[in-house]
Amino acid sequence: MTQRGSNANSNTDTVLAPLLIESAIKSKHTPMLHRIRQKAKLPFLLVLISSVAAACSGGSTGTGAGQNPGTDGSKPAVKNQDPIELVFYSTSGDFDNEGFMNMFGKKIKEKFPHITPKFIPRTAGVTIPNMVTAGETLDILYFSSGQTNELLDVQLQYDISDLIKQNKYDLGRLEPTTVDIQRLIAGGGIYGLPVFNNTITMFYNKDLFDKFGVAYPKDGMTWDAVYDLSKQMARTDGDTKYQGFTLSMSHNMLVNQFSIPYTDKQNKVNFTSDEFRKLFDMWTRFYHLPGNEVTKQTVSYGVQVDKFDKEKSTAIYLGLAALGPARFKDNFNWDVASFPEWKEKPGIGPQPYPSYFYVTNTSKHKEQAFDVIAWLTSDEFQRHLARNGLFPTLTNRDVMKDFGQDVPYLKTKNFNSFMPKTFASPAMPSKFVSIGAKHLTTAFNSVSLKEKDINTALREAEEAANKEIQTKLSGSK
């Protein structure tokens, strides 16, 4: 099975060219009562018989997870049993065709026999604008919250609020912060439903802690406690230099615990704010620890991750919760502890980083597409995701008890610590993530290498990022 890939960093850097597509007229359900009234001129008995027959033949307007509010959504109702094809696509590249069919497609086909899922894998030259120009109809797109711009840039978003109401879909079943993100993106509406979740977690190499006789990281540690632990683990033993700590700066910024967005409502970055500086100071000071220093050859994110899982010379790594297991597998003796907490924010973890499934405004099968994405959030399907190593998006975390049971290398991991008990409030997703991340990474590297002080590096990064954003907004080259 192909799971999430290792190119998450590049995903947030993808900026698709704008493509203006006229929104389709919203489809509406026709309740049974309305159909009965439309037949009012027929004899009453005939109307009653035809209506009962329609109900018995499966003509319900309820759907998936919302047919009865509060249920697990395991009984999809059928609006139209005519055979149809639903086309899925994502630029994330986390599944090939076989992986998608094993994780999603086969299950969808089992639950909805009249629907044939078609998945278009990401390959060179296969972009959404190109497919739309070629006349390819895309029914369901899925993106992580950090890839929001890839939906909005091509103007394929569709507000499913009416479908949610008509189908009595219970949003209360979902992790509230994942719904909050959609409200922010859609200006109070909802474009998609969260199907699987992600965030940052703390991975550690158990063998290294055993080697040096240091206690493993524990759940509920503060940033300062992790700093002290990293200090113990940063050392040279024989000819090998061991780092105590490393992190994925760009991902930590996306889901930071202070809920600071990359850009504000005026599309400006504020890297020099006191709150952001506090975050940045914490991240960079680990690289100033004796023995934990980096060089120009080792400062990059890719090299740092390699040192953790390939060279096995780094003790602690803060990275995407879903990306780590898919990459690390059973190559070494790793486990997880909960993400470090700030003393002034006890119990608060990072923000969620969910992936949403979106019904497009050009789909000719919006109701059936909604049925599918609603069922993907059912207890039944969420348990399937959890068993296969993806994180559910439900408020009720009972399905996490089965996490990783179908993936041998996950069975013994501390699954309760992958996701925080309480997520930080979501920051407004920015369509300029790639620009902000680029300049922030430059500042991060220069401070980590002690080439510049924090104030200078952040000021220069802020000025450069804002200049590039304004140039992009003005349409200048």
- Number of domains observed in the structure of the chain: 2
User: pLDDT averaged over the chain?
Assistant: 85
**Which of 243-247, 274-278, 426-430 has the least mean pLDDT?**
426-430
Q: Are residue 81 and residue 176 in the same domain, yes or no?
A: yes
pLDDT average, residue stretch 207-228: 97
Is residue 375 pLDDT above 90, yes or no?
A: yes
Whole-number Cα distances in Å, 261 to 42, 58, 321, 433, 437: 60, 46, 20, 9, 11
Q: Are residue 165 and residue 111 in the same domain, yes or no?
A: yes
What proportion of the chain, given as a percentage, has pLDDT over 70?
Answer: 83
Residue type at 352 in one-letter notation: P
Centre a 10 Å sphere on the Cβ of residue 207 and count the other Cβ atoms it contains: 13
Q: Are residue 212 and residue 296 in the same domain, yes or no?
A: yes
Q: Are residue 192 and residue 314 in the same domain, yes or no?
A: no
Any domain includes 34: no
Q: Are residue 227 and residue 336 in the same domain, yes or no?
A: yes
Is residue 234 pLDDT above 50, yes or no?
A: yes
Contact of 337 with 351, CB cutoff 8 Å: no
Any domain includes 36: no
Q: Are residue 280 and residue 400 in the same domain, yes or no?
A: no
**Per-residue model confidence as pLDDT tens digits over 170-183:** 999 999 999 999 99
pLDDT band, residue 79 (cuts 50/70/90): low
Any domain includes 425: no
Q: How far apart are CA 366 and CA 351, in angstroms?
A: 30
Structure tokens at 200: 């940052």
Is residue 245 pLDDT above 70, yes or no?
A: yes
Any domain includes 115: yes
pLDDT band, residue 123 (cuts 50/70/90): confident
Residue appearing with tokens 């002690």: 450
Q: Are residue 153 and residue 96 in the same domain, yes or no?
A: yes
| 355-359 vs 140-144, strand pairing mode | antiparallel
Structure tokens at 134: 């070629």
Q: How far apart are CA 444 and CA 457, in angstroms?
A: 8
Last residue of a domain, one of 385, 417, 449: 417
Contact of 287 with 244, CB cutoff 8 Å: no
Q: Are residue 189 and residue 306 in the same domain, yes or no?
A: no
**Per-residue model confidence as pLDDT tens digits over 12-69:** 333 323 222 333 333 333 333 333 334 333 333 333 333 333 333 333 333 444 444 3
Last residue of a domain, one of 391, 417, 443: 417
Q: Which residues contact 266 (CB under 8 A, 6 or more apart)?
A: none
Any domain includes 3: no
Which of 237 and 35 is assigned the larger pLDDT?
Answer: 237
Any domain includes 94: yes
CATH classification at residue 171 = 3.40.190.10
Range of 94's domain?
8-28+61-198+355-417
Q: Are residue 469 and residue 407 in the same domain, yes or no?
A: no
Q: Which residues contact 136 (CB under 8 A, 6 or more apart)?
A: 87, 120
Q: Are residue 24 and residue 115 in the same domain, yes or no?
A: yes
pLDDT at 262: 93
pLDDT at 132: 87
Any domain includes 422: no
pLDDT at 467: 97
pLDDT at 133: 87
Report the candidate in 361, 266, 473 with the shortest Cα–Cα distance to residue 20.
361
pLDDT band, residue 477 (cuts 50/70/90): low
Q: Are residue 174 and residue 188 in the same domain, yes or no?
A: yes
Q: How far apart are CA 204 and CA 193, in angstroms?
A: 32
Last residue of a domain, one of 394, 417, 440: 417
pLDDT at 27: 36
Composition of the chain by helix, strand, coil, percent to 5: 40, 15, 45
Structure tokens at 22: 């006229």
pLDDT at 69: 38
Any domain includes 131: yes
Contact of 308 with 203, CB cutoff 8 Å: yes
Which of 351 and 57 is assigned the larger pLDDT?
Answer: 351
Q: Which residues pair with 314 in a beta bridge?
A: 243
Q: Are residue 329 and residue 363 in the same domain, yes or no?
A: no
